[in-house]
């Protein structure tokens, strides 16, 4: 026997209440979900200092300098040898922005293992290029038809010009100075201040006979200016030098003033994004020949430049080889001792043997 089932009143109420209940729960939980998403997004964002700490191992020292007007980072790594060869100040390209550490990682990982105390300076952002002055075209109306009497009457009945009003009262000078925003420190002064502070920290932490500043890209000109301004025996090395409009002097002019220093010129060719790498290198080489820069050394880096990375063995070995050839060649020969020239026997006629030389020494008779 089949029993008929009639819908219950409770079931009808539940069918209507469940959708409304679900909508209310979703609406109430929406702020919680949004808050959790915000916390997750905030947790995934790390500061620049945290990124630097994660990228460096325990052999590096991260310095945060805050002068009030400027805040920047320095990265120091001491020489990993018993006797340090010298101090090297490394200046990344001013256009590298937040990739300045990535640009110098390979050299910082390799050169200290071969005797160099190395300090990296975070470069300031270069000033934005000034926009050209906008000029509006001058529009003149040319009337081909003769003026009518009505136009003359209208022109004669033109309203007189308003009388000049009295100038507004000037406010207090101190109030005006407070209202104006403080101007940022000029880029050359800001960069030079970072150089001075970084060099002081480098000398305090490391020692060595040689003193070298190495500039990459557009920082090459600033490195040359720093070496000249120090007034010490600081040598200059440049890597892929590029001109910069913000510098008061060009690299060529500074090279002439540094003719008594050791000048090391390293460059890639071809260099993506800079087709003038080879022509500019040739001009610097000709300049050194013309000005008699006897301590100028130029070398093309091997391989193909594919961007900066933490592992660039060809470049780092080439840089190390150039530095050792320049700075260790004089130390290899003892001072005051003339190089030994081998004594060659005079040529003998065919079929004859050279006469034996008499023995020398305490055991000779």
Query: What does the alpha-carbon distance between residue 72 and residue 343 come to, in Å, rounded to a whole number?
Result: 62
Domain ranges of the chain: 48-125+187-327
Q: How confident is the model over 59-100, as pLDDT tens digits? A: 999 999 998 889 999 999 999 999 999 999 999 999 898 899
Confirm if 226 and 244 have CB atoms less than 8 A apart.
Answer: no
3-state secondary structure of 109: helix
**258 burial level (CB within 10 Å; 0-12, 13-18, 19+):** buried
Between β-strands 71-77 and 210-216, what pairing exists: parallel, antiparallel or unpaired?
unpaired
Q: Looking at residue 179, what is its pLDDT? A: 43
Helix axes 313-327 and 100-110, enclosed angle (nearest 10): 60
Mark out the alpha helices in 129-218 (DSSP H runs). 149-156, 173-179, 187-205
Q: Looking at residue 344, what is its pLDDT? A: 43
Q: Looking at residue 146, what is its pLDDT? A: 56
In the predicted model, what is the mean pLDDT of the chain?
Answer: 78
Query: What does the alpha-carbon distance between residue 223 and residue 120 come to, in Å, rounded to a whole number?
Result: 12
Q: Which residues of the chain are modeled with pLDDT < 50?
A: 1-7, 41, 166, 169-171, 173-177, 179-182, 338-344, 365
Q: Looking at residue 232, what is its pLDDT? A: 81
Query: What does the alpha-carbon distance between residue 114 and residue 125 come to, in Å, rounded to a whole number?
Result: 31
User: Could you count the other beta carbons within 10 Å of the beta carbon of residue 122?
Assistant: 22
Fold of 48-125+187-327: Rossmann fold (3.40.50)
Q: Name 103's Cβ contacts closer than 8 Å, sequence gap at least 6.
A: 92, 93, 96, 216, 308
Q: Looking at residue 127, what is its pLDDT? A: 77
3-state secondary structure of 306: coil
Q: How confident is the model over 284-337, as pLDDT tens digits? A: 999 999 999 999 999 999 999 999 999 999 999 999 999 999 998 756 555 555
Query: What does the alpha-carbon distance between residue 204 and residue 63 come to, in Å, rounded to a whole number?
Result: 13
Query: What does the alpha-carbon distance between residue 278 and residue 274 come to, in Å, rounded to a whole number?
Result: 9
Q: Looking at residue 333, what is its pLDDT? A: 52
Dihedral sign from CA coordinates of 54, 56, 61, 66? negative
Confirm if 226 and 261 have CB atoms less than 8 A apart.
Answer: no
The tokens describing 225, both together, are 């200016």
The DSSP annotation for 1-47 comes to -PPP-PPPHHHHHHHHHHHHHHHHHHHHHHHHHHHHHHHHHHHH---
Q: Looking at residue 115, what is its pLDDT? A: 96
State the DSSP H helix or E strand holding residue 212, giving kind and residue range, or none if neither. Answer: strand 210-216
Query: What does the alpha-carbon distance between residue 126 and residue 188 come to, in Å, rounded to a whole number?
Result: 9
Nearest C-alpha neighbor of 262 from the set 203, 318, 211: 211
Q: Looking at residue 98, what is its pLDDT? A: 87
Q: What backbone torsions phi and psi does residue 106 show, to the nearest 5 degrees?
A: -65, -45
């Amino acid at each position: 026997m089949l029993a008929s089932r009639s819908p219950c009143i409770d079931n009808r109420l539940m069918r209507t209440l469940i959708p409304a209940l679900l909508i209310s729960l979703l609406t109430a939980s929406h702020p919680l979900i949004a808050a959790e998403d915000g916390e997750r997004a905030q947790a995934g964002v790390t500061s620049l200092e945290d990124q630097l700490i994660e990228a460096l191992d325990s052999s590096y020292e991260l310095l945060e300098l805050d002068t009030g007007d400027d805040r920047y980072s320095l990265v120091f790594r001491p020489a990993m040898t018993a006797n340090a060869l010298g101090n090297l100040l490394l200046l990344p390209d001013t256009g590298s922005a937040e990739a300045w550490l990535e640009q110098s990682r390979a050299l910082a990982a390799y050169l200290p293992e071969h005797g160099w105390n190395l300090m990296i300076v975070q470069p300031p952002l270069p000033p934005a290029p000034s926009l050209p002055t906008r000029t509006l075209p001058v529009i003149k109306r040319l009337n081909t038809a003769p003026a009518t009497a009505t136009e003359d009457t209208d022109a004669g009945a033109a309203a007189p010009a308003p009388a000049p009003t009295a100038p507004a009262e000037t406010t207090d000078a101190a109030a005006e100075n407070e209202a104006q925003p403080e101007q940022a420190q000029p880029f050359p002064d800001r960069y030079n201040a970072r150089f001075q502070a970084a060099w002081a920290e480098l000398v305090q932490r490391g020692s060595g006979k040689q003193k070298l500043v190495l500039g990459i890209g557009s920082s090459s000109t600033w490195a040359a200016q720093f070496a000249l301004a120090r007034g010490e025996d600081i040598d200059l090395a440049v890597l892929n030098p590029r001109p910069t409009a913000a510098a008061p002097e060009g690299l060529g002019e500074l090279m002439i003033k540094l003719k008594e220093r050791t000048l090391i010129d390293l460059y890639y060719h071809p260099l993506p994004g800079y087709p003038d790498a080879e022509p500019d290198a040739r001009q610097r080489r000709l300049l050194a020949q013309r000005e008699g820069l006897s301590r100028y050394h130029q070398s093309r880096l091997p391989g193909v430049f594919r961007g900066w990375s933490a592992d660039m063995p060809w470049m780092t070995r080439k840089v190390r080889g150039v530095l050792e050839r320049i700075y260790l060649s004089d130390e290899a020969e003892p001072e005051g001792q003339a190089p030994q020239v081998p004594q060659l026997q005079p040529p003998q006629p065919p079929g004859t043997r050279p006469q034996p030389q008499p023995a020398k020494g305490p055991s000779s008779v």
